[in-house]
Amino acid sequence: MRVIIDIDQTITQAPNFFSWLTHALRRDQHWVGIVTVRCDRESSLMTLKELDISFNILETLPLDEERDCMDWKLDTIHGLEADVVFDDWPELSHKLDPKIFVALPRDTEMGNLVYDDNDMLI
């Protein structure tokens, strides 16, 4: 499996779980990519080290990126041929290829997921 995980409000929301998960996945020969819209690669690497996250690659938003960050992230995730994505960005999850299994951490600032009048997650 190719598993892609976001950092902020995803790994940072359950760091012990993602530390265990990423080590278990890689121990069993699965592939783990970290994709974040953070621009600062060094601070991202430091966060992943501090939280003991095991990964194959880290993709950060390039400083000279001209697409908006959602388009960059969608293209990056699709380009990496993800099977599973963990990301707290609801709008992103709705635009990912439906073949990808998406796990969406709830918004802890809101306390609950938010739905519109059509029961669609917003």
Name the site residues for Mg ion (rule: CB under 5 A). Answer: 6, 8-9, 88
* Residue 96 Cβ vs Mg ion, minimum distance, rounded to whole Å: 14
SS3 1: coil
* Residue 66 Cβ vs Mg ion, minimum distance, rounded to whole Å: 21
Rank residues 25 and 89 by Cβ distance to Mg ion and give the closer one. 89
* Residue 7 Cβ vs Mg ion, minimum distance, rounded to whole Å: 7
5 CB-near residues (< 8 Å, 6+ apart): 11, 18, 22, 32, 33, 34, 35, 53, 55, 85, 86, 87
Rank residues 25 and 44 by Cβ distance to Mg ion and give the closer one. 44
Rank residues 6 and 59 by Cβ distance to Mg ion and give the closer one. 6
For 48-104, the DSSP string reads HHHTT---SEEEE--TT--S-HHHHHHHHHHHTT-SEEE-S-HHHHHHS-TTSEEE-
* Residue 6 Cβ vs Mg ion, minimum distance, rounded to whole Å: 4
Rank residues 7 and 25 by Cβ distance to Mg ion and give the closer one. 7
